[in-house]
Structure 1
Amino acid sequence: MTEPADPPIFALLTEIGIIEHLARNRAERALPEGLRLSHFVVLNHLVRLGDGRSLARIARAVQVERPAMTNTIQKLEARGLVRGAPDPRDGRGKLVFLTEAGRAMRARAVATMESAIAPVPHGLSAPEIEALLAPLRRLRSALDRARDADPDLQP
Structure 2
Amino acid sequence: MAEDLIINRNINKEEQYVSLIPQIEALLTGEDDFVANMANVAAALKEQFNWFWVGFYLVKGEELVLGPFQGPVACTRIKKGKGVCGASWLQNEVLIVPDVDQFPGHIACASASRSEIVLPLVKNGAVVGVLDVDSEFLNHFDVTDQINLQKVIDILLK
Q: Which has the higher contact order (CA 8 A, sep 6+)?
A: 1
TM-score scaled by length of structure 1 = 0.30
Q: Which has the higher helix share?
A: 1
Structure number with greater Rg is 1
Q: Which has the higher strand share?
A: 2
